[in-house]
């Protein structure tokens, strides 16, 4: 298995632009999680899906952030418009039932 | 309010010795605990876990101890190897069909050759 796949690995964009991060979970996993890692706040959960349905989005910082999971093999995290304070590493993780989560390699986002 | 705390941001240990990483939690409802290891430019990798019904779980060089009364868990690595140098995160979760994890801030372990 290829593991959790995220794209792009690096994204540099200007303030105000739309950013879309992509994630392909491990096949057969039924839960998907989006995290953000910053120096100040560490690893924080943004949103998670169970069987493609958003369950808890209380970690999404603002309305500028949105996430979708149109099917079991794909999810997106969109930031529109982006701001410099959104600069961070964004991780996607997937999970089968109630077992451990498997993380992707992350997307390093820089907003200038 | 940090529900999972790792109070030591860094730890240095000599190769061959024991590494002990500590973690404290405040929510007594947490029933499952995990340790993840993270290398630079990679995502966290699952290392070992323990259910709240146990007080010890061992996997090779890695052992996790859970003290529920003290709300404390620790990860022991014996013997430590230079390849163990990484950031270690502890995480805790509640029962449920999807285990939502609450992470500590991480401890940078450096194993000196």
Residues in A lying within 8 Å of B, measured between beta carbons: 4, 30-31, 33, 42-45, 48, 50, 55-56, 91, 93, 95, 97-106
Where is pLDDT greater, at A96 or B75?
B75
Percentage above 90 pLDDT, chain B: 88
Asked whether residue A100 carries a pLDDT value surpassing 90, the answer given is: no
A16-25, A96-105, B41-50, B65-74, range with the lowest pLDDT: A96-105
Q: Tell me the average pLDDT across A32-53.
A: 93
Cis omega (within 30 of 0) for bond into B79: yes
Confidence of residue B97 (pLDDT cuts 50, 70, 90): low
> For position B28, what pLDDT does the model report?
92
Which of chain A's residues have a Cβ under 8 Å away from the Cβ of B34? 100
Separation CA A91–CA A20 (nearest Å): 13
Are the Cβ atoms of A43 and B46 closer than 8 angstroms? no
> For position B100, what pLDDT does the model report?
83
> For position B96, what pLDDT does the model report?
65
> For position A104, what pLDDT does the model report?
97
> For position B2, what pLDDT does the model report?
80
Separation CA B38–CA B88 (nearest Å): 6
Residues in B lying within 8 Å of A, measured between beta carbons: 32, 34, 36, 41-46, 49, 89, 95-106
Q: Tell me the average pLDDT across B38-42.
A: 93
The two structure tokens encoding residue B97: 């069909």
> For position A41, what pLDDT does the model report?
86
């Amino acid at each position: 298995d290829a593991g959790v796949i995220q794209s792009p690995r690096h994204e540099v964009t200007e303030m105000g632009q739309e950013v879309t991060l992509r994630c392909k979970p491990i096949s057969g996993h039924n839960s998907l999680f989006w995290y953000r890692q910053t120096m100040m706040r560490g690893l924080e959960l943004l949103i998670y899906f169970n069987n493609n349905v958003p369950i808890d989005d209380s970690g999404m910082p603002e309305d500028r952030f949105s996430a979708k999971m149109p099917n079991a093999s794909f999810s997106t995290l969109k930031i529109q418009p982006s701001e410099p304070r959104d600069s961070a590493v964004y991780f996607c993780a997937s999970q089968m039932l109630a077992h451990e989560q498997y993380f992707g390699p992350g997307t390093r986002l820089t907003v200038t | 309010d940090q529900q999972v705390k790792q109070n030591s941001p860094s730890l240095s240990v000599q190769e061959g010795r024991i590494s002990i990483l500590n973690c404290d939690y405040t929510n007594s409802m947490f029933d499952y605990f995990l340790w993840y290891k993270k290398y630079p430019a990679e995502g966290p990798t699952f290392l070992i876990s323990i259910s709240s019904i146990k007080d010890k779980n061992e996997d090779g060089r890695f052992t996790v101890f859970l003290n529920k009364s003290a709300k404390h868990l620790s990860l022991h690595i014996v013997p430590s190897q230079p390849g163990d140098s990484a950031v270690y995160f502890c995480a805790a979760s509640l029962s449920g069909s999807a285990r939502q994890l609450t992470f500590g801030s991480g401890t940078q372990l450096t194993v000196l050759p």
